[in-house]
């Protein structure tokens, strides 16, 4: 693992657990020795990406990450364009709506509006959504570049529940159905008891760059709800794409 990869793993560790952590705990969780962990943390502190409390000596994420996020958003205003659509869809459906964006590490949840209902689906911001096991992943694959789709179809496809898709042929069928409909449906593939509907957000070249999804407890979702959510989530995805890029090219077709 490169030094950069090690440093990023520490950032992810600090972002996924308790707000602050001790050096020994960080080193143990990362599988690094204390000297290596301390050296990496010192470098991250110098860049403002990590902070250390002067009293407790505990480490936490730094404000420099916010600066980088703002710089990225200024260049590519994905959240600014998409969040109003996410909030509108959540208000319409009364269910949890989450937005994800593709990176080389996978489909990452970047914004969530949770349902106000007591029985609701919770999706942690920053969660990486498995392509083969979520409606968001399948919707994305339906309009992804061929090389990305082939990589996922080649596996592996770890099982998260007894209902997780576990082979390339079944996944290909779901992807083809999602492409034909313009949205995907998922039932308990990633978490038991959860039903979800998702649609791809397309880039200027017609390929998917992310997805928007409605997630709800399966006990209160019927066929009519699925059809309604499918139409609504597809419209929201198209609106986000239009706000980001204007008029879209046909899905899967690159501009000359």
> Residue 76 is encoded by which pair of tokens?
């590519």
Query: What is the reported pTM?
Result: 0.80
Does residue 10 carry a pLDDT above 60? yes
Does residue 75 carry a pLDDT above 80? no
Average pLDDT over all residues of the chain: 91
> Residue 25 is encoded by which pair of tokens?
């705990």
Q: What is the pLDDT of residue 109?
A: 94
Q: Which one, of 101, 162, 176, lies nearest residue 136 by Cα?
A: 101
- Structural domains in the chain, CATH included, are 3-67 (1.10.10.10), 76-245 (3.30.450.40)
Pairwise CA distance, residues 251 & 253, whole Å: 6
Contact 129, 101 (CB under 8 A): no
Q: What confidence tens digit (pLDDT) does each residue in 115-174 have?
A: 999 999 999 988 999 999 999 999 999 999 999 999 999 989 999 999 999 999 999 999
Residue 247 pLDDT level (bands cut at 50, 70, 90): low
Q: Angle CA(42)–CA(3)–CA(75) in degrees, nearest 5?
A: 85
| Mean of pLDDT values over 89-109 | 93
Q: What percent of the chain has pLDDT over 90?
A: 74
Classify residue 248 by its DSSP letter.
P
Segment 125-132 long-range contacts (CB within 8 Å, at least 24 positions apart): 126/15, 126/16, 129/100, 129/190, 130/106, 130/158, 130/160, 130/190, 131/106, 131/107, 132/157, 132/164, 132/165, 132/166, 132/171, 132/189
223-240 CB burial, b ≥16 within 10 A, e <16: eebbeebbebbbbbbbbb
> Cα 136 to chain center, whole Å?
8
């Amino acid at each position: 693992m490169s030094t950069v990869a090690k440093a990023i793993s520490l950032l992810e560790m600090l972002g996924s657990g308790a707000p602050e952590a001790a050096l020994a705990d960080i080193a143990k969780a990362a599988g690094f020795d204390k000297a290596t962990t301390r050296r990496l943390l010192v470098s991250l502190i110098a860049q403002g990406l990590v902070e250390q409390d002067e009293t407790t000596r505990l480490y936490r994420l730094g404000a420099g990450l916010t600066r980088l996020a703002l710089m990225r958003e200024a260049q590519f205003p994905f959240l600014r364009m998409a969040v109003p659509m996410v909030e509108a869809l959540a208000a319409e459906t009364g269910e949890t709506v989450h937005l994800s964006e593709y990176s080389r590490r996978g489909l990452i949840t970047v914004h969530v509006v949770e349902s106000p209902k007591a029985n609701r689906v919770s999706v942690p911001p920053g969660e990486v959504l498995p392509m083969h096991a979520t409606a968001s992943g399948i919707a994305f694959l339906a309009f992804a570049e061929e090389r990305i789709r082939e990589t996922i179809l080649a596996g592996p496809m770890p099982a998260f529940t007894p209902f997780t898709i576990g082979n390339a042929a079944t996944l290909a069928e779901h992807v083809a159905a999602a492409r034909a409909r313009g949205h995907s449906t998922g039932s308990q593939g990633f978490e038991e008891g959860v039903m979800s509907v998702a649609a791809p957000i397309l880039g200027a070249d017609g390929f998917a760059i992310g997805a928007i999804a409605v997630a709800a407890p399966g006990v209160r979702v019927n066929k009519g709800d699925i059809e309604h959510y499918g139409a609504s989530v597809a419209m929201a995805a198209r609106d986000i794409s239009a706000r980001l890029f204007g008029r879209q090219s046909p899905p899967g077709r690159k501009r000359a």
